[in-house]
């Protein structure tokens, strides 16, 4: 696990509701139970400052870091998707984005990853499709200096669900249902302090679940089979995350000194 990714998880899942800031020492303490050493945390913080995700602040007479408005927007968008807070009502129409990509290969690669992350799939060269118009589309395009024209399609025959690898996604959800219990039990058993154990178990649970954000386009139920395992996986994740949250919250409070 990369320290940068772990910091995003900590800020999004724990610190967003606590002022979105923390002292450096607290960040180091928070990431110690998940196996990330202090030097790696400090290096990741420096890089995130340079990338515009964090900014330095004074907290209690010491140095700390707060997420920037740009980071807060991304964390809120991600949190809504992780916890399935936004329930879409699908009107049966499809959203198309005809993308004029940037010139740089690196920027094109980042753009492709960004569009996939928010739920689009490439239907043809530079033509991206989603069942909904995603509010994050403009910011994803702007970050990479790309533009797009958009349209709504009333009818596809057959539906463009083949643009996503749903067989691989089904297998991934099946694997989650089989492995998540062992994942939680393993981390609960690895720590003597019950609150620290709950924090570590929940951290890894959320971190693994977040990977589905890069693969699951959140297709309408009408387009998925009745036995779609993503439904059971989401229910299991929500139940386990809720069960572990009180202990994890107590550990975070201790690390923050309140």
- Give the chain's mean pLDDT: 91
Find the largest Cα–Cα distance for the chain.
63
Note whether 47 and 112 are same-domain residues: no
Query: What would the pLDDT profile of 79-92 be if each residue is shown by its tens digit?
Result: 777 776 666 778 88
| Segment holding 117, helix H or strand E | helix 105-117
Q: Do 77 and 114 touch, CB atoms closer than 8 A?
A: no
My answer on whether 193 and 226 are in the same domain is yes
Global pTM value: 0.83
Q: How many domains would you assign to the chain? A: 3
Q: Single out the residue in 76, 105, 125 at which a domain terminates.
A: 76
Write out the H or E segment, with its range, that includes residue 165: none
Could you read off the pLDDT of 7-45 as tens digits, one per residue? 999 999 899 889 999 999 999 999 999 999 999 999 999
Would you state the structure tokens that stand for residue 170, as one six-digit string?
């089904």
> How far is residue 94's CA from residue 132's CA, in Å, rounded to a whole number?
6
pLDDT class of 222 with cuts at 50, 70, 90: confident
Across 145-160, average pLDDT: 92
Note whether 41 and 31 are within 8 A (CB): yes
Q: What is the mean pLDDT of residues 102-117?
A: 92
Domain that holds residue 114: 94-153
**Signed CA dihedral, 198, 179, 239, 169: sign only:** positive
């Amino acid at each position: 696990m990369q320290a940068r990714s772990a910091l995003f998880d900590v800020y999004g899942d724990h610190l967003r509701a606590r002022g979105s800031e923390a002292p450096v020492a607290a960040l180091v303490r928070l990431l110690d139970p998940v196996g990330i050493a202090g030097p790696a945390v400090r290096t990741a913080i420096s890089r995130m400052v340079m990338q515009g995700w964090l900014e330095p602040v004074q907290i209690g007479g010491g140095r700390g870091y707060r997420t920037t408005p740009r980071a807060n927007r991304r964390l809120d968008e991600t949190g809504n998707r992780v916890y399935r807070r936004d329930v879409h009502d699908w009107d049966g129409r499809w959203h198309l984005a005809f993308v004029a990509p940037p010139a740089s290969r690196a920027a094109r690669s980042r753009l492709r990853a960004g569009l996939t992350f928010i739920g689009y799939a490439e239907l043809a060269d530079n033509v991206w499709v989603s069942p909904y118009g995603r509010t994050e589309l403009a910011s994803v395009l702007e970050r990479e200096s790309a533009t797009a024209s958009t349209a709504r399609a009333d009818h596809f025959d057959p539906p463009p669900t083949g643009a996503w690898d749903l067989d691989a996604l089904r297998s991934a959800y099946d694997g989650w249902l089989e492995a998540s219990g062992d994942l939680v039990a393993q981390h609960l058993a690895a720590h003597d302090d019950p609150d620290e154990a709950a924090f570590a178990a929940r951290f890894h649970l959320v971190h693994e679940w977040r990977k589905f954000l890069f693969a699951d386009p959140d297709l309408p139920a009408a387009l998925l089979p009745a036995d779609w395992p993503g439904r059971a996986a989401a229910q299991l994740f929500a139940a386990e995350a809720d069960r572990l949250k009180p202990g994890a919250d107590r550990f975070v409070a201790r690390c923050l000194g309140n």
